[in-house]
Structure 1
């Protein structure tokens, strides 16, 4: 090998090493900056920052909402409990509620958010409302996740949180976070997390769509298919509550479904639905100040097509009735 070739290879190795060091330094600097500005208001930054976050999806906004000290009650679940209003529950119970729902989520995500909320309370939670839909009926102990969820944001491990910050969507959020922190009157995501999906459905004309009504009247199976157990989501919820909120009032809600989505009596679907209900009824019976409210039944409100957008998404009229049932249950616990 000639001396010129050897010299060239040495220069390239030196360049590669310098580039790698510079890239590592830049990554570490970016990580440190992201940690300090705390893009989703997780409370981990040592800096004194404005509370809250700019308008964003509930998955990430839950980090800020879930640790907000003004709330002593919380609502968990997905879009099937989304229309339950924290403000309405506060008016009827005197308890300040926050909605920590996230659409298209299941028990694994709800348990993570429940853990986050409970570990950020200085005083015991005054009430917990948890939507128990068919996703909670799974026999799969891994509690499968259907849509991406930022589990890293709610991690107890600082290392896991730091690793989660190294992602492109965090980099995208940093400029918005800086604008929020530097603006005199920044636009803030609603602190209590309420998100009225009825407004979106109305804008899209769902209510007046004949095809929607036809689809709604078509029977579907929705029992979950697990007639014999196990029900690991019920076990995980029982364990979490026993560990972190043994005395907290808890309302488990089986959300409303339109009648065509209710199991046909005597069918395999009905057997699965009943088994799942029994699992959570047993959980409620096993602890103090806990109840199961079952709106997944055949009742007049669930037979009126105008009360529903689809088989499992109801309108505000039903939500008001559900809120009254939840509030009455909480008030009975006192």
Structure 2
């Protein structure tokens, strides 16, 4: 009897283990199928209008941040010029520049980005041009002075969205926010009155700063007058002369060499309030000058290139009414920078 019971228990245990194994396999298979189905649906719906799917097509995207919206904007064939950088160049107006140059500019600046993101967006824009590109305006700020060839980015950026490899793009679709974006995209595609994100990418940040009291609150205004750089000893010459490496400038040289001769390449060193300008004779001062020299050398062989340098000691950079903080300036300075860009383009004709 004991033998019979033992045999029955063993059979029951084996059957139970088999059932659990089948359940586990079914669960894994179901999960894989569901994930593949979601990715396939996302690829077909193309939530950020990257042009990778012929289905659910409608020009543009719903209003959203430039990190994702620029995937759609950057492939719009109606633009033959573009502006690249971060919030320190985003105040430049495509409409104002077009009125003075005739070039259809697209604003592709993304706040809190650096050269790695800028090159990604430049490549995306150039890849999707059907006609000649008349001008590229590129913001070269302090992030370009890194010695790290990896060009690390400080904030998250969807590099997968702009990837040339379809598998890398598909892998990037495996995220929760895609599930939220899919119904929004369908609502935009099929909605008769769906609002579209601004085509030229322009966003004026002045109202936001004004609402926060950046022009009136004494404690905020006082920040402008606080020295950014600590007092350092002066040097007669750069103590690291000949040792500095600027991999961003090297990458920029490759870009300049790849451009058609007729494409104007304008480098902008954006304005800085006087207390954010590195003092001459200091380590930061030497680094700034060496970095600018490297960028200038990177574009010198491209015939239609120019440097617009506002990161220098000039009267406008001493006026606190032109700045919200040390690096974010107001419309009067934006228009002054635009005027210099226009002059540069006129000289390059």
TM-score normalised by structure 1 residue count: 0.96
Residue 273 (1) aligns with residue 281 (2): no
Residue 121 (1) aligns with residue 93 (2): no
Paired residue for 1:57, among 65, 74, 84?
Answer: 65
Which stretch has the larger CA shift, 96-105 or 235-244?
A: 235-244
2:151 paired residue number: 143
2:254 paired residue number: 239
Partner SS for 1:101: coil
Contact 1:198-1:315 at 8 Å conserved across structures: yes
Contact 1:53-1:64 at 8 Å conserved across structures: yes
Residue 262 (1) aligns with residue 270 (2): no
Contact 1:137-1:226 at 8 Å conserved across structures: no
Contact 2:224-2:320 at 8 Å conserved across structures: yes
Partner SS for 2:27: helix
Partner SS for 1:251: strand
Give the Cα–Cα distance (whole angstroms) in 2 for the partners of residues 55 and 89 of structure 1.
Answer: 23
Larger Cα Rg: Structure 1 or Structure 2?
2
2:179 paired residue number: 171
Residue 316 (1) aligns with residue 324 (2): no
Give 1:246 shift: 5.1
Partner SS for 1:75: strand
Contact 2:256-2:299 at 8 Å conserved across structures: no
Partner SS for 2:108: strand
Residue 213 (1) aligns with residue 228 (2): no
TM-score normalised by structure 2 residue count: 0.92
Give the Cα–Cα distance (whole angstroms) in 2 for the partners of residues 24 and 14 of structure 1.
Answer: 15
Contact 2:252-2:299 at 8 Å conserved across structures: no
Give the Cα–Cα distance (whole angstroms) in 1 for the partners of residues 90 and 216 of structure 2.
Answer: 22
Contact 1:74-1:128 at 8 Å conserved across structures: yes
Structure 1: stretches of 5+ with no match in the other structure: none
Give 1:245 shift: 4.3
Paired residue for 2:302, among 283, 287, 309?
Answer: 287
Partner SS for 2:144: helix
Structure 2: stretches of 5+ with no match in the other structure: 1-8, 231-238
Contact 2:56-2:189 at 8 Å conserved across structures: no
Give the Cα–Cα distance (whole angstroms) in 1 for the partners of residues 329 and 307 of structure 2.
Answer: 19
Partner SS for 1:263: coil
Residue 131 (1) aligns with residue 136 (2): no
Give 1:100 shift: 0.8
Contact 2:56-2:186 at 8 Å conserved across structures: no
Alignment size in residue pairs: 332
Deviations 1:227-264 (A, max 9, x none): 64211101111112323545421000000000111122
Partner SS for 2:82: strand
Give the Cα–Cα distance (whole angstroms) in 2 for the partners of residues 331 and 61 of structure 1.
Answer: 31
Give the Cα–Cα distance (whole angstroms) in 2 for the partners of residues 293 and 162 of structure 1.
Answer: 40
Give the Cα–Cα distance (whole angstroms) in 1 for the partners of residues 278 and 180 of structure 2.
Answer: 45
Give 1:199 shift: 1.0
Give 1:168 shift: 1.1
Give 1:169 shift: 1.5
Residue 99 (1) aligns with residue 107 (2): yes
Alignment of 1:6-155 (within 5 A): 6-47=14-55, 49-155=57-163
Give 1:331 shift: 2.3
* Aligned-residue RMSD, C-alpha: 1.5
1:3 paired residue number: 11
Give the Cα–Cα distance (whole angstroms) in 2 for the partners of residues 181 and 302 of structure 1.
Answer: 46
- CA gap 1:20/1:146 in 2 versus in 1, 3 angstroms: same
Give 1:285 shift: 1.9
Give 1:29 shift: 1.0
Contact 2:80-2:104 at 8 Å conserved across structures: yes
Give the Cα–Cα distance (whole angstroms) in 2 for the partners of residues 249 and 296 of structure 1.
Answer: 21
Which stretch has the larger CA shift, 226-235 or 273-282?
A: 226-235
Partner SS for 1:229: coil
Give 1:167 shift: 0.9
Which stretch has the larger CA shift, 61-70 or 166-175?
A: 166-175
